[in-house]
Amino acid sequence: AIRFEQKAKSFDKDKWKNFLIYVEQERGEIHPVTFELIGEARKMAVKVGYQVNCVIVGGKGTKENAEKLLPYGVDNVYVYEHEGFEGFRADCYTDAVADCIAANKPSSVLIGATALGRSLAPRLSTRFHTGLTADCTTLDIRSNTDMIQIRPAFGGNIMAQIGITKSRPQFATVRYKVMDKAEKVKNPHGQVVVCPVNEKMADSRIKILSSRVIDKVKSLEEEDVLVVAGRGVRNEKDVEMCRELADALGGQLAFTRPMVENGFGDVAHQIGLSGRTVRPKLVITCGVSGAIQFTSCMTGSDCIVAINNDPEAQIFNVADYCIVDDLYQVVPELTELIKNRKED
């Protein structure tokens, strides 16, 4: 391992320039949070005249993935490709990224706040004896190149603004799906820079014994998106119409109790007092009246959409977005829009 001693508070800010983004790879693909980090870094970079550079570490195919970043307007993509980097291990990945940081002296390093990123980032910031702000949801930069970093703490009950004003680099992990993705640029100008990797750098004390793709069926409670069919949905065919919406959204279909009693679904997919309690990011109820035995078990959801043709329905008391209309008109329309959106 490379040891790099840098005492906090004894540094020269001007020696540290530009943004460096850690590019995570997941099963040979670039993790989508990367494009959000690039988008955010580009916005900040123009304010202080910085470059936006990337570093990518991995086994075979890493250089090809590096090329895919250039259309998004980045300057340099530093590549550390070696068979020893097949599969994430915190120790040797830290060595590779630390090598890149020591050589390029970035002012800010942005890493996705994924399971992998949050394992890697604290090792790096510790190695450089500097600060790391966890799980940021808003970033900005002052003209003196200090970042303004905002993050939730106490389980999201408060927001804190964190500064790293007396040491460099400033590290931040950034939550996935909160920043805008970078747009492609007309004339990409960046380049891929292949960095030498020696055996020692790629050597890890951790041995991967097996690695398999998880394709477990998520339980209702784990789902980010739920579509609920209530008694306003009249028959099997119409239930399928709702299921299509759930599929288009990448979520699951759930039911109210009378629907389960009528055999349209099982109890594992029933929301309510005698079923499951859920708190997904999004729930869309279709033809659900909103009885307390139902709503009390889903009001923790981040966003509730209700579709019901009765403006007096109780479900509208708990909904964020209210659609007073015929579900048979609205649901197929929604499914179409979401499918088309996915395709572009």
Partner 1 sequence: MKIVVCMKQVPATSKVDIDPETGAMKRMSGETRTNPYDLFALETALSIREKTGGTVTVLTMGPPQAEEMIRDAYTMGADEGVILSDRKFAGADVLATSYALAQGIQVIGGADLIICGRQTTDGDTAQVGPAIAEHLTIPHAAWVAEIMDVNEKNIQVRQDLVSVSQVSEIPYPCLLTIDKDTCVPRLPSYLLKKATSDRPVRILSFEDMPDQDLSRYGLIGSPTSVEKMFAPEESEKQVYLEGTAKEKADRLVALLTGKKII
Ligand X SMILES: Cc1cc2nc3c(=O)[nH]c(=O)nc-3n(C[C@H](O)[C@H](O)[C@@H](O)COP(=O)(O)OP(=O)(O)OC[C@H]3O[C@@H](n4cnc5c(N)ncnc54)[C@H](O)[C@@H]3O)c2cc1C
- What, of partner 1, ligand X, none, does residue 308 touch, CB below 5 to 8 Å by kind? ligand X
313 binds ligand X (CB under 6 A): yes
Local structure of residue 296 (DSSP, 8 states) = T
Closer residue to ligand X in complex, CB, 66/331: 331
Least distance in Å: CB of 57 to partner 1?
15
Which one of the spans 20-28, 56-64, 180-188, 325-333 is the region binding ligand X (CB under 6 A)? 325-333
The first and second tokens of residue 204, run together, are 């890890």
From the list ligand X, partner 1, none, partner contacted by residue 231 (C-beta under 5 to 8 A by kind)? ligand X
Whose Cβ is closer to partner 1: residue 11's or residue 68's?
11
Total residues interacting with ligand X, rule: CB under 6 A: 34
The burial of 71, by beta-carbon neighbours within 10 Å (0-12 exposed, 13-18 middle, 19 or more buried), is given as middle
Residues 119-148 binding ligand X (CB under 6 A) are: 131-134
Would you mind telling me the total number of residues written for the chain in this entry?
Answer: 344
Residue 310 binding target from ligand X, partner 1, none, CB below 5 to 8 Å by type: ligand X
Cβ-Cβ contacts under 8 Å for 327 (sequence gap 6 or more): 232, 233, 286, 287, 307, 308, 309
Check residue 275 for interaction with ligand X (CB under 6 A): yes
Closest residue by beta carbon to ligand X? 272
Contact 58, 45 (CB under 8 A): no
φ/ψ of 305, rounded to 5, equals -115, 130
Note whether 73 binds ligand X by CB under 6 A.
no
The pair of structure tokens assigned to 201 is 């750098």
Give the integer Cα–Cα distance in Å for 250 and 243: 10
127 interface partner picked from ligand X, partner 1, none, CB below 5 to 8 A per type: partner 1
Dist CA 230 CA 240 (whole Å): 13
User: How near is the Cβ of 257 to partner 1 at its closest, in Å?
Assistant: 25
Q: Is 79 helix (H, G, I), strand (E, B) or coil?
A: strand
Residues that bind ligand X (CB under 6 A): 131-134, 151, 153, 160, 162, 230-232, 256-259, 270, 272-275, 287-289, 291, 293-294, 307-310, 313, 326-328
